[in-house]
Chains A and B, each alone.
Chain A
Amino acid sequence: MDEAYVKKLRASLKVHAHALGIAEGAAESFIDETIKSVEKTLKGKTTISQAELTRIITKELRKYHADFAYVYKNHDKII
């Protein structure tokens, strides 16, 4: 994942976490751990589809907060 994407992802996840009422410290920790794990999973891969990336991020987020993962996965499927 390039730096710009990670920055955008982090900002988007922070907004969702804040809206879900997750404490700032906990949210930072969830996001850091998720991004670290995702980067580890993607190591060596040159291309990945957005759907696959969303699936991996959701899977990682689910380990920490089920609703956080649900919102991340479904925020663009509400309407």
Chain B
Amino acid sequence: MSILVSVFILILVALIQTFMQLSPGVFALFYHYALGKKSRKKADSFSLYYVLGYELFIIATIFILCIFVFLINKAVTIDFALVYWILAGVSIAEAMAGLFFYYRKNKTTELFISRKLARSIEKQASNVKNSSDAFILGFVSGLPELIFTLPVYLTAIFTLIDFTIIPRATVLIAFIILAILPLIWIFILYHTDRHLADIARLRLKLKPFVKIVFCFCFLLLAIAIMLGNLNHG
């Protein structure tokens, strides 16, 4: 895969991760309840642990996937062409899912996750009592979206397979910084006299845009993977 295509793929992967909506949604809810039940200082302190939990989730997932790919590569000879075709196919499926299933079809920002799970997460978000609760909530908030993020992480790992350790580390650092941008954005909104109602309305307004971005990015990702694969072959 050429450097140009690889960089393009990594940018798309980062963009998709940045537009994931579950963790920012949970963060907005959690901060709202923390403000309602505790002081702003406490809410801010819990936010840090939430972000750390979310970061750890991303790092742990990528790390586990790296080990998985490494072990598979040791055990059998990976047919990279086949892997790229599968990832491209999955990206196309994700593009359609992003457009039609990521958000529920109603006038809210409800996501694809089951209502039972959403209620359970909301309950957790409203009952954060200490830093460890916030940390666990941050960690857990990434889990239900794995169906969307897992293929994206795998694409990044396979793209970086030919790179040396320094670019890999640089990409990982950039990736985990970009992943928390939406959380920082919501944090800033809360600190500029906005509250949950404003954030919910804003997220609702951005819903069509996010759907299009998802679809567009996943389609471009599929095209880039296929192009990279053809060039590689």
A residues with a Cβ closer than 8 A to B are 14-21, 66-67, 70-71, 74-79
Contact = CB atoms under 8 A, between A and B. Distances in A.
B39 to A, nearest CB: 10
B196 A71 contact: yes
B121 interface: yes
Given A19-B195, A19-B196, A21-B195, A75 B29 contact: yes
Interface residues of B, number: 29
Nearest to A65: B197
Contacts of A20: 195-197
B192 to A, nearest CB: 12
17 contacts: A14-B36, A15-B37, A17-B36, A18-B35, A18-B36, A18-B37, A19-B32, A19-B35, A19-B195, A21-B193, A66-B197, A71-B197, A74-B197, A75-B29, A78-B28, A78-B110, A79-B110
Contact of B122 (A17, A18, A76): A76
Main DSSP-derived SS at the B contact region: helix
Interface of B: 21-22, 25-26, 28-29, 32-33, 35-37, 108-111, 113, 118-119, 121-122, 126, 193, 195-198, 200-201, 203
A15 B216 CA distance: 40
A10 B119 CA distance: 20
B206 to A, nearest CB: 13
A13 B118 CA distance: 20
A58 B22 CA distance: 26
Interface centre among A15, A16, A71, A77 (most CB of B within 10 A): A77
